[in-house]
Amino acid sequence: MTRVKKALPLLAAPLALAACSTLGLPNGDVTGSISGTAPAGGDVRLALLGRTGGGFENNAVDQVDVGTFNPQKRVYAISLPAAPRAGAYEVTAYVDSNGNKAYDAGEPRTTYQNRFLIYSNSDLGLFGFNVKQGWNRVEGSAVSQGRPFSGFDLRW
């Protein structure tokens, strides 16, 4: 019986690590840094914003606090939702001026970097790009698949 008790923590550790994104810790689907100086006026947060032809809409898909490792350069990692609505999304950092933990139009945010993500339910042509089922990274005119999407850097 004592062997079982001693082995239980060793068996539980891999399960706990595997459940990290379930427990609220990001699994690193998208990683990058945030350079420049964030405007004052609130906490810096990340948002995954749905892109539309007329601008941005907040789908409140995944928003997490940004951990600060260096005052001039923040490093982040986020988890992407498993099955969001098909469409284009932008990862952005913003200053949560009103403290509601959601991006609101007019809040200071990082500049658009000509890079976004497309989620597709099947292989097809979408927004002028040939994408595969699942998450796709679009940078300029290049499309790539396969996570993690690293080097997804943001700038104030």
Q: Would you kindly state where each structural domain of the chain is located, as residue ranges?
A: 25-155
pLDDT single digits (tens) 93-128? 889 899 888 888 899 999 988 899 998 899 998 778
- Encoded tokens for 130: 């040939």
**pTM (two decimals):** 0.74
Q: Is the pLDDT of residue 145 over 90?
A: yes
- DSSP state string for 44-99: EEEEEEEEETTEEE-----EEEPPPSSTTEEEEEEPPPSS--SEEEEEEEEEETTS
Residue 51, pLDDT above cutoff 70? yes
Percent of the chain residues topping a pLDDT of 90? 24
- 25 backbone dihedrals φ, ψ, rounded to 5°: -90, 135
pLDDT at 17: 39
Structure tokens at 28: 């690193």
